[in-house]
């Protein structure tokens, strides 16, 4: 075997590729068959290569010489993506062609790929089979478990790791440590960790965390920035609740607690297992710590404007919106990160329970957008000192500024095909359509992006429809002296556009 840097033009895709069981008649046919098999995956691969300027160096393609060309035996998707980056018109679909043109604008795709040249198919077959057929008793690729992948991401300080998985690990770790002498509960937690790790985070979503006065935050004293669980009730008060919760996760599918409405109804069936709000400690502490010493052993995790450790789970906040409907979603938004309302309410009512959550103190609190331009990074840093209740007008204006800068950067415009001078509404809607082609369809759209879409468009697809209520406010904050910004509006738009900004960042 030898090695050679091959240009995409030097290679042809393998007509015997197992991904194409019926064979192919030409390179173009093979490329479009791979697009039919998984266009989104191929586009994402092309985007990654364009941005990084290389293919994965940990996995070399394998090819054999065939006349003046090389036939790719392993790595057909990589070379197909490169061919499409070099010539998007190879795609039969205009939509796919446009997608590869946008991907090409993200950077400089590699011109050559370091490739292993095999003498024959038979020689290469051994390695290809090991690559694609699992562990093979240790000879093949042994994939990380969910927990191992999350641990690696945490140690590498990768902000894109799913917060639900990290939350699952933090909660399981803390409960095991707090109840180390309770064999029954520890065994239960370990079984759930082995079999249904990610479902821990799904049950302990933001709404449940708020109801129990829990929070999952970064331990700044840890060199690895570990997540830890903070609570306001002691171990004895919470033991029976944890037995119930982990038993539920183990015995039921995720459908049993898949959205905020179902979770709320579940909690209403176990009032005897939920500690009284009146008994909550005024300051949070680690569950594994002695509650009586909490004030002296645990630092303040809640008020530092520079604290980036607050874990804000936009996935589950959006889940609450989609479950409760538009009216209820505004109420959830106002209570999860917004101000409380005046007036007397029965303390046992659902509305009173939701208002127990502390409102977002700073605009876009805890949000990180590492792939955005430096100017946006600097503005986010300044927002961490911008108290919404003290400076509501500035907070509202800054919300518009950050959204506009996010959709107007050269990289963002390359994704949407818009121009810097286009109206803000057009740029936001184009970005929403890029992130979710089904955004106009109420049943199929990404629920994380739904609130931003409704705020901007009013959920109307008519070409000349007026801007949605949120868009009118965002414009009014800057252009209309008659619009009065207030803390509720700042928190409302912080909630609505947070998932939008995060998804843009993931694409940049």
Choose among 134, 138, 124, 108: nearest CA to 66.
124
pLDDT score of 308: 41
Classify 212 as helix, strand or coil: coil
Choose among 447, 479, 170: nearest CA to 332.
447
Q: What are the tokens at 271? A: 């009032």
Sheet holding 69-74, edge to edge: 2-6, 113-118, 62-66, 69-74, 11-13
Choose among 90, 87, 75, 78: nearest CA to 45.
78
The Cα 316–Cα 274 span in angstroms is 21
What are the sequence ranges of the domains in the chain?
A: 2-132, 147-311, 374-507
Choose among 360, 362, 425: nearest CA to 394.
362
Question: pTM for the complete prediction?
Answer: 0.36
pLDDT score of 398: 92
List per-residue pLDDT tens for the chain, 508 residues long. Answer: 788 899 999 999 988 787 776 667 788 988 998 998 888 889 989 988 988 888 887 788 999 998 999 999 998 999 999 999 999 999 999 989 988 998 888 888 899 999 989 888 888 887 787 777 766 666 666 665 655 555 555 554 544 334 677 788 889 888 988 888 888 898 999 899 888 888 998 999 989 999 999 988 876 665 445 678 889 998 888 999 999 999 999 999 999 998 999 999 999 999 999 998 888 888 888 887 745 433 333 333 344 444 444 444 434 433 433 333 333 333 333 333 333 333 334 434 433 433 334 567 888 888 889 899 988 988 888 887 788 888 888 999 999 999 999 999 999 999 999 998 899 999 999 999 999 999 988 888 888 888 888 888 887 766 666 777 788 888 888 888 877 788 888 888 888 899 999 999 999 8
pLDDT score of 327: 36
User: Which single residue is written with the structure tokens 């009014």?
Assistant: 476
pLDDT score of 347: 39
pLDDT score of 497: 92
pLDDT score of 358: 52
User: Which residues are 115's β-sheet partners?
Assistant: 4
Choose among 59, 49, 57: nearest CA to 85.
49
List, as one string, the DSSP characters of 235-289: HHHHHHHHHHHHHHHHHS-GGGG-SHHHHHHHHHT-GGGSPPGGG--SS-EETTS
The Cα 268–Cα 245 span in angstroms is 13
pLDDT score of 104: 87
């Amino acid at each position: 075997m030898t090695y050679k840097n091959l240009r995409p033009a030097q290679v042809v895709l393998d007509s015997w590729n197992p991904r194409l069981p019926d064979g192919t008649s030409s390179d173009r046919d093979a490329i479009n068959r791979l697009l039919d098999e998984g266009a989104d995956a191929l586009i994402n691969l092309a985007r990654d290569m364009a941005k990084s300027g290389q293919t994965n160096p940990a996995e070399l393609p394998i090819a054999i010489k065939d006349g003046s060309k090389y036939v790719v035996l392993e790595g057909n998707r990589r070379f197909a993506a490169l061919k499409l980056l070099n010539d998007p018109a190879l795609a039969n679909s205009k939509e796919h062609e446009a997608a590869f043109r946008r991907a090409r604008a993200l950077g400089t795709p590699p011109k050559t790929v370091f490739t292993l040249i095999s003498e024959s198919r038979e020689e290469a077959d051994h390695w290809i089979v090991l690559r694609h057929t699992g562990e093979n008793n240790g000879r093949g690729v042994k994939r990380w478990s969910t927990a191992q992948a999350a641990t690696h991401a945490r140690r590498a300080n990768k902000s894109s790791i799913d917060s639900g998985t990290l939350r699952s690990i933090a909660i399981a770790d803390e409960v095991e440590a707090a109840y180390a002498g309770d064999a029954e509960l520890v065994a239960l937690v370990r079984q759930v960790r082995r079999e249904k790790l990610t479902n821990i985070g799904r049950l302990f979503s933001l709404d449940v965390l708020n109801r129990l006065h829990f929070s999952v935050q970064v331990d700044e004293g840890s060199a690895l920035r570990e997540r830890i669980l903070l609570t306001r009730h002691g171990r004895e008060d919470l033991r029976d609740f944890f037995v119930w919760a982990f038993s539920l996760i183990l015995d039921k599918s995720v459908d049993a607690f898949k959205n905020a409405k179902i979770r709320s109804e579940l909690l209403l069936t176990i009032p005897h297992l939920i500690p009284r709000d009146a008994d909550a400690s005024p300051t949070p502490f680690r569950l594994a710590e002695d509650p009586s010493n909490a004030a002296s052993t645990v630092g303040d995790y809640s008020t530092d404007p520079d604290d980036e450790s607050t874990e804000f789970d936009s996935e589950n906040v959006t889940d609450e919106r989609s479950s409760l409907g538009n009216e209820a979603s505004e109420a959830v938004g106002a209570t999860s990160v917004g101000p409380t309302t005046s007036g007397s309410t029965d303390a046992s009512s659902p509305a009173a329970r939701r208002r127990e959550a502390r409102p977002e103190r700073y605009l876009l609190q805890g949000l990180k957008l590492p792939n955005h331009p430096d100017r946006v990074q600097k503005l986010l840093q300044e927002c961490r000192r911008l108290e919404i209740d003290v400076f509501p007008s500035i907070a509202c204006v800054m919300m518009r500024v950050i959204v506009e800068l996010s959709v107007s950067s050269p990289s963002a415009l390359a994704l949407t095909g818009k121009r810097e001078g286009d109206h803000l509404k057009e740029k936001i809607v184009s970005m929403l359509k890029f992130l979710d082609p089904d955004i106009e369809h109420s049943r199929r759209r990404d629920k994380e992006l739904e609130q931003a879409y409704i705020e901007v468009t009013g959920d109307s697809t008519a070409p000349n429809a007026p801007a949605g209520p949120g868009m009118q406010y965002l414009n009014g904050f800057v252009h209309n002296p008659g619009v009065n910004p207030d803390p509720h509006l700042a928190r409302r738009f912080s909630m609505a556009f947070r998932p939008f900004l995060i998804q843009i960042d993931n694409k940049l």
